Structure 1
Amino acid sequence: MKKRVVITGLGVVSPNGVGIPDFLDALKQGKSGIQFYQHLKDKHFSCCIGGIPEVSEDLMKAYLTPLQLKNFNSSGILYGCMAGMDAWRDAGLDIDEAAEVDFDSGIMFGTGQSGVDKFREAIYKLDEGNVRRLGSTTVAQTMSSGISAYLGGILGCGNQVSTNSSACTTGTEAILMGAERIQSGKAKRMLAGSCSDHGTYIWGGFDAMRVMTYKHNESPAKGSRPMSASASGFVPGSGAGALLLEELESARARGAFIYAEILGGHMNSGGQRNGGTMTAPNSLAVQRCISLAVKDAGIRTSDIDTINGHLTATIKDPMEIKNWKTALGLSKNDFPAINSLKGMTGHCLAAAGSIECVASVLQIAHGFIFPSTNCEDLHPDIEEQIGKLAIPHKSRSQEVNTVIKASFGFGDVNACIIFKKFTN
């Protein structure tokens, strides 16, 4: 019999809020974290806006030691450490470097590209013949598993400590993989989440593909427009989200506060067939992922209070809505509220799924549905499919029992997870 998995801790580093209190406030207000960045313009980017979390030097020092910060140059690992440590502490767990190894706790923390700025720094030193000046932390900051390695040492986790990477699906996938380890009885706790760097070396390829908007350099807060008729491409973002997943019996024994329960989910790939490509989803696979997640959770589609979509502000948004509608089998009149966080944060790439999962859980814990901003001019195909009332333009106060959230990524990969208000 599967173990029940609950969420006992949350952490977030988002463009529109660093830390759960600020992030929660931003969600309720529909606050944007997207700004204009001169350094993007100086590099001749078409899209000169983005979402970068505001993290001061003093705040960095509150999480990492002077030794850890020596020659440190990896924003993604920094964000991941901050979100992960916050989720750990939020769950009522101590961070003690002198403590024994915790073999009951593990980490599944994903990323896309890690330490790119550090890697560039290393390349220049090597090209100049200064191999001895690379420093002792270059490997840790540039290896794919750098984030889980940093967190593993800080928290002393002795269970599985791994990093996954599946493009925009990474965060949601990490949470599902962490939950599966607990369900199988192989761990009591798993810190799950994902992080993403920011900057020209991460975002440049997307700018070259012309998938980012160039129309809102003078109006950054209006740039990311999921589900909008005037959407012109996504806005890049960065950050990290983290959830402390725990076996129900363990959480009860500790007297831990429970934000929500993970009922189930599903992960798959469209195989880049039937219309699916490196950059476009196979709709049949997306629909299958959603329907099998619902089946795994043991719920009816009519039980769903709200959907948090992937919805990136590209031409694929109407197709995603069609996939949701087909998979859930609900009529236009029965379709639940659906929102996208990306109007406030931009597309945080590998960190998107985990940040959006944190937002989804907060809706359950605090009884509201956050607004989907910048889509007042709703795309006509979306309006025809689900109507205007399904899109919250302002925060709605209401009891939220069940949230379904999905992420779809480059390579035609999909992940869908279902959260529910915890009941005995």
Structure 2
Amino acid sequence: MNNNRVVITGLGVVAPNGVGLSDFIEALKQGKSGISFHQELADLKFSCQIGGIPTISDELKSKYFTDLQLRGFNSSGILYGCIAGIDAWKDAGFDSNPDSELDYDTGLIFGTGTSGVEKFREAIYKLDEGQVRRLGSTVVLQTMASGVSAYLSGMLGFGNQVTTNSSACTTGTEAVLMGFERIQNGKAKRMLVGSCSDHGPYVWGGFDAMRVMTYKHNDSPEEASRPMSATASGFVPGSGAGALVLESLESALERGAKIYAEVLGGEVNSGGQRQGGTLTAPNAEAVQRCITKAIQNSGVSSNDINVINGHLTATTKDGLEIENWTKALHRNGGNFPYINSTKSMVGHCLAAAGAIECVASVIQLNEQFVAPNINCEDLHPDIEDIVNREQIPTEKLNLNFDVIAKASFGFGDVNACVVFKKFN
């Protein structure tokens, strides 16, 4: 059995606070929020009338899609995913020539949650009006779950495994680990991995109905996403995409590629909605096991973890997540790693969250800083009881470190944790 080392050679991101790698890096360093008020949500009587939506101009779209592809195109998740994926592929030193040879050494695992909702709604109205012949030829492609993978593989010409995964908020982190294992086992040289999520009322409405989104900051959107804060009042919905090019170390060195970081390993599991776990709440034992196994599978010890990029959604479960980390690592107080939540700046990007946050984790590792937890000056007392306040920076922290752990915990009681290491 092969046991190839796997490195990251390309990154791409479409986030509410930055579209493109350079803008996103600066946003992370500056603690820039991408949350804004949306009149459409207010008109529809949402309790939460704010959200994180990336800014994509028509000019930018035309750099990735032909006029023919954009005709009748109305799927924000696929749009975000294709931009992030193509950016990551180019960042890795490849091009997106539509006439390129089929690449059997490269595959694609790109996840999503609910895909093409706006397009599906548009199709329903036309069908109800008896206009089936006016649906257009891309309705199926824009609304099927694997639509983003179908678009991307056609644009880039990948001939290895091409698929879409979907595991709620763990989707992006799970995709990274699926691609990692395929390269590690020698079944591919490269895998483009990531995830995306649509935006808008038809994706976010169910969460608003569940009362898990904040309603207290419609007039101050940039202060709304407050992971680990005593005044956190629910998550802020977001959208976008993150993408990473994973590559065998041998292949990367052979072509002289720049290397952002190494993927050491990870773990995916489920709490089975047992022992306190439900559709919406985690089984604490399973979460701790996921973290512990991820560290074991990565060949490091818990003391090697310098920084954590948590799931941390600004809900009542933030304290439990920190407690689970302390128990899994057997570290607390001032011995606990530095920890941050990218969601403080972008909101909860649902199926895209794991991928965007994996990109954020790799950026911090590569550039040697810890991004701030904005809106967390009033640390929740339950967290302050077990972790020193200094471990949760509210301003950018320059730090020489080697290992960062990224975890995602999703609806359905599913968990994923991946460990990245600075490449030497």
Q: Same fold (TM over 0.5)?
A: yes
| Alignment match, 1:196 | 197
1:410 aligns with 2:414: no
| Alignment match, 1:294 | 295
Pairwise CA distance, 1:321: 0.3
| Alignment match, 1:35 | 36
Write out aligned runs for 1:298-313 (5 A).
298-313=299-314
Pairwise CA distance, 1:332: 1.4
Write out aligned runs for 1:56-71 (5 A).
56-71=57-72
| Alignment match, 2:160 | 159
| Alignment match, 1:45 | 46
Write out aligned runs for 1:221-232 (5 A).
221-232=222-233
1:266-316 CA-to-partner distances (Å, cap 9, x unmatched) read 000000000000000000000000000000001111111100000000000
User: Residues 305 and 402 of structure 1 are in contact (CA less than 8 Å); yes or no, is this contact kept in structure 2?
Assistant: yes
Root-mean-square deviation (CA), in Å?
Answer: 0.5
| Alignment match, 1:15 | 16
| Alignment match, 2:275 | 274
| Alignment match, 2:256 | 255
Q: Which amino acid aligns with 1:149?
A: A
Pairwise CA distance, 1:37: 0.4
| Alignment match, 1:341 | 342
SS in 1 for 2:386: helix
| Alignment match, 1:322 | 323
Structure 2 Cα separation of the partners of residues 15 and 104 of structure 1: 33
User: Residues 101 and 156 of structure 1 are in contact (CA less than 8 Å); yes or no, is this contact kept in structure 2?
Assistant: yes
| Alignment match, 2:147 | 146
| Alignment match, 2:368 | 367
Pairwise CA distance, 1:99: 1.3
| Alignment match, 1:113 | 114
1:22-60 CA-to-partner distances (Å, cap 9, x unmatched) read 000000000000000000000000000000001111001
Q: Which amino acid aligns with 1:219?
A: S
| Alignment match, 1:394 | 395
Structure 2 Cα separation of the partners of residues 353 and 106 of structure 1: 19
Pairwise CA distance, 1:333: 2.3
Pairwise CA distance, 1:401: 1.0
| Alignment match, 2:379 | 378
Structure 2 Cα separation of the partners of residues 287 and 151 of structure 1: 35
Q: Which amino acid aligns with 2:288?
A: Q
Structure 2 Cα separation of the partners of residues 159 and 294 of structure 1: 29
Pairwise CA distance, 1:331: 3.1
Structure 2 Cα separation of the partners of residues 94 and 399 of structure 1: 33
Q: Which amino acid aligns with 2:343?
A: K
1:364-415 CA-to-partner distances (Å, cap 9, x unmatched) read 1111110011111000000001020110100011212100000000000000
Q: Which amino acid aligns with 2:174?
A: E
User: Residues 363 and 400 of structure 1 are in contact (CA less than 8 Å); yes or no, is this contact kept in structure 2?
Assistant: no
Q: Which amino acid aligns with 1:109?
A: F
User: Residues 194 and 241 of structure 2 are in contact (CA less than 8 Å); yes or no, is this contact kept in structure 1?
Assistant: yes
User: Residues 402 and 418 of structure 1 are in contact (CA less than 8 Å); yes or no, is this contact kept in structure 2?
Assistant: yes
1:81-136 CA-to-partner distances (Å, cap 9, x unmatched) read 00000000000011111111100000000000000000000000000111000000
User: Residues 334 and 390 of structure 2 are in contact (CA less than 8 Å); yes or no, is this contact kept in structure 1?
Assistant: no
Q: Which amino acid aligns with 1:401?
A: D
Structure 2 Cα separation of the partners of residues 154 and 264 of structure 1: 29
The runs of 5 or more residues in structure 1 that have no matched partner are none
1:98 aligns with 2:99: yes
User: Residues 10 and 358 of structure 1 are in contact (CA less than 8 Å); yes or no, is this contact kept in structure 2?
Assistant: yes
Q: Which amino acid aligns with 2:293?
A: L
1:4 aligns with 2:5: yes
Aligned residues: 423
Greater alpha carbon shift after TM alignment, 226-235 vs 94-103: 94-103
Structure 1 Cα separation of the partners of residues 141 and 135 of structure 2: 12
Instruction: List structure 1 segments (4+ residues) > 3 angstroms apart after TM superposition.
Output: none
| Alignment match, 1:214 | 215
Structure 2 Cα separation of the partners of residues 335 and 279 of structure 1: 27
Structure 2 Cα separation of the partners of residues 338 and 372 of structure 1: 9
Structure 2 Cα separation of the partners of residues 189 and 67 of structure 1: 30
User: Residues 227 and 312 of structure 2 are in contact (CA less than 8 Å); yes or no, is this contact kept in structure 1?
Assistant: yes
TM-score by length of 1: 0.99
| Alignment match, 1:122 | 123
Q: Which amino acid aligns with 2:166?
A: S
TM-score by length of 2: 0.99
Pairwise CA distance, 1:211: 0.2
Pairwise CA distance, 1:194: 0.1
| Alignment match, 1:79 | 80
User: Residues 276 and 283 of structure 2 are in contact (CA less than 8 Å); yes or no, is this contact kept in structure 1?
Assistant: yes
SS in 2 for 1:58: helix
| Alignment match, 2:187 | 186
Q: Percent identity?
A: 68
User: Residues 306 and 404 of structure 2 are in contact (CA less than 8 Å); yes or no, is this contact kept in structure 1?
Assistant: yes
